[in-house]
Amino acid sequence: DADVTQTPRNRITKTGKRIMLECSQTKGHDRMYWYRQDPGLGLRLIYYSFDVKDINKGEISDGYSVSRQAQAKFSLSLESAIPNQTALYFCATSDPERGGPETQYFGPGTRLLVL
């Protein structure tokens, strides 16, 4: 079974709808991240969390919110989806205390289309 899972894998929604992307991990890592990837722009950090009580904004947090329900779960919400939020979304985990340098482990991604 995959260590980092994301649901749904694909989602089509309409402008103005609220949607939630979910991420779960079995790696036991404290740190979790949400990125979006757009062609030519690489991976951009939306939010990150170093433990259940710690939530931090990344470089492009506007229009997004997150919830860290447990060590293993980190959800990303789009409160009112807009077309320029169409992208590929990745969840990632890391734990620098265990594996040395801060290797990030990525989920399979969620492809989101906002019409």
Q: Could you say whether residue 29 binds other proteins (CB under 8 A)? A: no
Q: How far is CA 104 from CA 11, 19, 40, 85, 95, in A?
A: 24, 25, 21, 23, 8
Nearest approach, Cβ of residue 15 and other proteins (Å):
25
Residue 43 CB partners (closer than 8 Å, separation 6+)? 35, 36, 37, 90
Can you tell me which of 1, 10, 40, 84 binds other proteins, judged by CB under 8 A?
40
When asked if residue 45 is in the footprint of other proteins (CB under 8 A), the reply is: yes
Rule CB under 8 A: say whether 82 interacts with other proteins: no
Give the x-and-dash track for 95-114 against other proteins (CB under 8 A).
-x---xxxxx-xxxx-----
The CA distance from 100 to 115, in Å, is 42
Nearer to other proteins, 46 or 78 (CB): 46
C-alpha neighbours within 13 Å on the C-beta side of residue 40: 0
Nearest to 84 by CA among 49, 47, 36: 36
* Site size toward other proteins, by CB under 8 A: 23
Residue numbers at the binding site for other proteins (CB under 8 A): 33, 35, 40-45, 48, 56, 58, 90, 94, 96, 100-104, 106-109
